[in-house]
Amino acid sequence: MRTMIATSLRVAIVTCVTLATLLLPSLASSQTIALTFDDGPKMADTIGLSPADRNAAILSQLAEAHLKSILFVTRVDTDAKRNDLIRQWGIEGHQIGNHTATHPDFDEVSLADYERELLACDKAIRDMPGFTRRFRFPYLKEGNTIEKRDGFRAFLDSNSYMTGPVSVDASDWYYSERLSDRLRKDRHADTRALTGMRTYDISTAERNITMVYLAPSWAAPQRTCYCCIII
């Protein structure tokens, strides 16, 4: 089973990059593919593989495909095992970014509380290999008032942070929840209908975007979402 999962993941990554190159021949000289992961490692998730085996499988497949990524983590914990899994990303040449300490909804907390969330996560990850001052908003919410939005942007600038924007929200969390529920009920379930490749093309006046989406979720080879955004 593990061999099948690893093989599927390898094909997924190679297919994603190959399609991106075919769709835009000038990719190497003028385009960018951003491959990022949020939230994890999730230590409580033991469906399919252990957290350590999941982490190793993802990093192995990224290495085989010669891809570098960024892991946006939520972290203030002192779980040594989880910290080791996060640190491994930096050791293998990937970046580690800030996703707040506890993943709050910016619409539900004050600007001051949200600023403290960034600082708490920053303190926890700043000494890790691969640390980068790049921030991704939980739920992609940048503030429900102009004052909060502009205030936090100024706060990011004052702390030398850049944002980690998302071009397309693929709702990978929804696919992950559905697939996790299915595997909890039957770990040998046929999940091929939930793990197919989908592509979305979005055209605007400013740019053409093609997303190659390999559903679902962030950190298990049998539940992995690769969002390759070509801008």
Residue 167 predicted with pLDDT over 50: yes
Nearest-angstrom CA–CA distance, 47 and 220 = 8
**Strand-strand pairing, 33-34 and 226-230:** antiparallel
Average confidence (pLDDT) over 113-130: 96
Residue 27 predicted with pLDDT over 60: no
Homologous superfamily of the 2-230 domain (CATH): Glycoside hydrolase/deacetylase (3.20.20.370)
User: Tens digits of per-residue pLDDT, 187-197?
Assistant: 787 766 655 54
User: Tens digits of per-residue pLDDT, 90-121?
Assistant: 999 999 999 999 999 999 999 999 999 999 99
User: Tens digits of per-residue pLDDT, 198-211?
Assistant: 444 434 333 333 33
More confident call, 79 vs 231: 79
Average confidence (pLDDT) over 215-229: 38
Region for residue 146 given its phi and psi (left: phi exceeds 0; alpha: psi -120 to 50; beta: otherwise): alpha
Give the angle 91-54-77 at the CA atoms, nearest 5°: 65
